[in-house]
C-alpha cells in the first residue's frame, strides 16, 4: 500500500549527495495509527488506476487556471535558518515557472521527450489573508530550541514541527492553505510530504523542506540551489509517485503515468542519456523528470499525464484549495499606499494604509454615484457595504489619482 511519500536526501561529509526514500518505514508507522487515512489513500490508488487505464473523459483530465494559496512557516533554531523574504519569493517563482513549462533549461531534455512537457495552470501565491481575515505576507516565523524538529523519527511523537505546543508552528486551516514548513529535519533529509488521502486532512498535512534546499538564494546550498526539491515534493503533495513506483529494483511497479518509461531505480546527480535500468525500455529512464532524484540543474520535466493527474487530484482530494479565500486578488498596494482585503468580500472590507497622513476617502457604485465618504488617520479601518447591493464598487482617496475596485458579493 502506498500511503506516505517521503523524500530523504542523504549528504556526504562535504556536502549533499543522494536522495533516499523511506516510504515503507513511514507508511507502516502512519498506517498503524490512522486507519481512515490508510483507507483514503487506497481510494486515491483506485483513482490513479482509473486514470492510468484511460477510463476518464478528457474533460475530467483537464482544469482551468487554479490559484493555490501558500503559507510558509519558518521554524528556526539558528538565526541563519530564519530565511529572508527574497529566498521565499525565489522559491515561489520556481514553482510557478516549473509547473507552467516556462523553464529556460528545457533544451536539456532529450528531444524524444521534450514535447511531453505541459503547463499545469497552477499559480502559487503567498496568502495575503490569514485564517482570521487579517492582512498577511503569507509567512510565519518562530524560533525553537529543538534540534532537527522535523526529524522523521519524531513524526507523531513528542516533538512536532506542526504543533506549537511541541516546539513547532500550528498549520493554518489546511483545506484552504498549502502549508510549507521550512525547518531543520536532520538525518541528512532535505524534504518530505504526504500523499493525499480521499478521507481526511491530517494535522501534519503539508510539505517540510530544509532551508538549505529551499529557493535559489540565501541559505540554499549546491547542488540544490534551483528550488526543485520543493517542485518534487509538490508533485507528491498532488499525488505523483516516484517513477519507479513503490519499490526499487523492479521494472513492474507503476507510477500510473503511461507517458513515463518503466524504471527500476532512481537516478542521482546528472545522468547521461540514455540511462537504462529496465531492459524493456530502449530509451532508458526519464531521469530528468521532476519525480526522479536528479540534481536541480538536471531536473526539468513534468509530463502531460503527470500534469493531468495533479489537476485531477486538486479537483478531488484537494478541491477545497480551489475555494479558499486566502488570496484576495489584491497583490500589490495601489499608488495611494492602500491595500483592501478580503476582496471579494461578503460586505465588510478592511483597508490597510502605508501612509500615516490624514486621508479623505470616497466609495462609488458602478454607475458613479457616491455612496460613502469618510476621513481617517488610522493605519487600518473597516468599510461596511452590507446594506448595499452585491456588485462592483470603487474606492478613491482625495490624495490618490486611481480608483481601487471592491467586489461586494
Catalytic residues, by residue number, are: 233
Largest Cα span, the chain? 75
Burial of 40 (0-12, 13-18, 19+ CB in 10 A): buried
Please state, in angstroms and as integers, the Cα–Cα distance from residue 393 to each residue in 362, 378, 403, following that order: 10, 22, 9
End-to-end, the C-alpha distance of the chain in Å comes to 45
Rounded to an integer, what distance in angstroms lies between the CA atom of residue 9 and that of residue 183? 15
Among 160, 141, 164, which residue's Cα sits nearest to residue 152?
160
What are the residues facing 141 on neighbouring strands?
74
Q: What's the distance, CA 96 to chain centroid?
A: 10
The answer to whether the CB of 352 falls within 8 A of the CB of 314 is: no
Other beta carbons less than 10 A from residue 166's beta carbon: 15
Burial of 92 (0-12, 13-18, 19+ CB in 10 A): buried
Q: 289-311: string of b/e by CB count within 10 Å (b at 16+)?
A: bbbbbbbbbbbbbbbbbbbbbbb
Rounded to an integer, what distance in angstroms lies between the CA atom of residue 146 and that of residue 166? 9
Rounded to an integer, what distance in angstroms lies between the CA atom of residue 156 and that of residue 62? 36
Using DSSP's 3-state secondary structure scheme, residue 360 falls into strand
Burial of 341 (0-12, 13-18, 19+ CB in 10 A): buried
Q: What angle do CA 212, 19, 259 make, to 5 degrees?
A: 115
Rounded to an integer, what distance in angstroms lies between the CA atom of residue 313 and that of residue 400? 44
Rounded to an integer, what distance in angstroms lies between the CA atom of residue 337 and that of residue 68? 26
Amino acid at each position: 500500500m502506498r500511503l506516505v511519500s517521503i523524500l530523504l536526501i542523504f549528504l556526504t561529509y562535504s556536502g549533499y549527495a543522494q536522495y533516499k526514500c523511506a516510504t515503507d518505514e513511514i507508511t507502516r508507522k502512519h498506517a498503524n495509527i490512522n486507519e481512515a487515512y490508510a483507507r483514503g489513500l487506497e481510494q486515491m490508488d483506485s483513482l490513479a488506476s482509473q486514470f492510468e487505464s484511460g477510463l476518464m473523459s478528457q474533460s475530467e483530465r483537464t482544469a482551468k487556471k487554479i490559484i493555490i494559496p501558500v503559507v510558509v512557516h519558518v521554524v528556526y533554531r539558528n538565526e541563519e535558518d530564519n530565511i529572508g523574504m527574497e529566498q521565499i519569493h525565489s522559491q515561489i517563482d520556481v514553482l510557478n515557472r516549473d509547473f507552467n513549462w516556462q523553464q529556460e533549461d528545457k533544451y536539456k531534455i532529450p528531444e524524444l521527450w521534450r514535447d511531453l512537457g505541459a503547463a499545469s495552470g497552477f499559480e502559487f501565491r503567498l496568502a495575503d489573508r490569514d485564517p482570521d481575515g487579517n492582512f498577511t505576507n503569507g509567512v510565519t516565523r518562530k524560533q525553537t530550541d529543538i534540534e532537527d524538529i522535523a526529524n522523521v523519527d519524531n513524526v507523531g511523537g513528542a516533538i512536532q514541527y506542526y504543533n506549537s505546543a511541541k516546539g513547532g508552528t500550528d498549520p493554518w486551516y489546511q483545506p484552504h492553505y498549502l502549508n510549507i514548513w521550512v525547518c531543520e529535519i536532520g538525518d541528512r533529509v532535505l524534504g518530505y510530504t504526504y500523499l493525499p488521502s480521499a478521507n481526511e486532512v491530517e494535522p501534519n498535512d503539508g510539505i517540510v523542506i530544509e532551508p538549505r534546499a529551499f529557493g535559489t538564494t540565501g541559505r540554499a546550498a549546491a547542488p540544490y540551489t534551483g528550488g526543485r526539491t520543493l517542485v518534487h515534493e509538490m508533485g507528491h503533495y498532488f499525488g505523483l509517485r516516484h517513477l519507479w513506483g513503490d519499490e526499487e529494483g523492479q521494472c513492474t511497479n507503476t507510477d500510473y503515468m503511461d507517458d513515463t518509461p518503466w524504471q527500476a531505480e532512481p537516478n542521482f546527480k546528472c545522468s547521461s542519456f540514455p540511462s537504462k535500468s529496465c531492459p524493456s525500455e530502449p530509451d532508458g529512464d526519464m531521469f530528468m523528470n521532476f519525480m526522479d532524484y536528479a540534481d536541480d540543474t538536471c531536473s526539468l520535466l513534468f509530463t502531460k499525464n503527470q500534469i493531468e493527474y495533479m489537476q485531477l487530484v486538486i479537483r478531488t482530494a484537494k478541491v477545497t484549495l480551489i475555494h479558499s479565500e486566502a488570496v484576495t486578488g489584491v497583490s500589490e498596494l495601489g499608488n495611494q499606499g492602500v491595500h483592501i482585503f478580503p476582496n471579494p468580500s461578503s460586505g465588510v472590507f478592511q483597508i490597510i494604509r502605508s501612509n500615516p497622513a490624514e486621508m479623505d476617502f470616497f466609495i462609488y457604485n458602478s454607475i458613479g454615484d457616491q455612496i460613502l465618504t469618510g476621513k481617517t488617520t488610522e493605519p487600518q479601518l473597516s468599510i461596511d457595504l452590507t446594506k448595499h447591493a452585491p456588485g462592483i464598487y470603487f474606492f478613491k482617496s482625495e490624495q490618490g489619482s486611481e480608483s481601487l475596485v471592491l467586489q461586494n458579493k
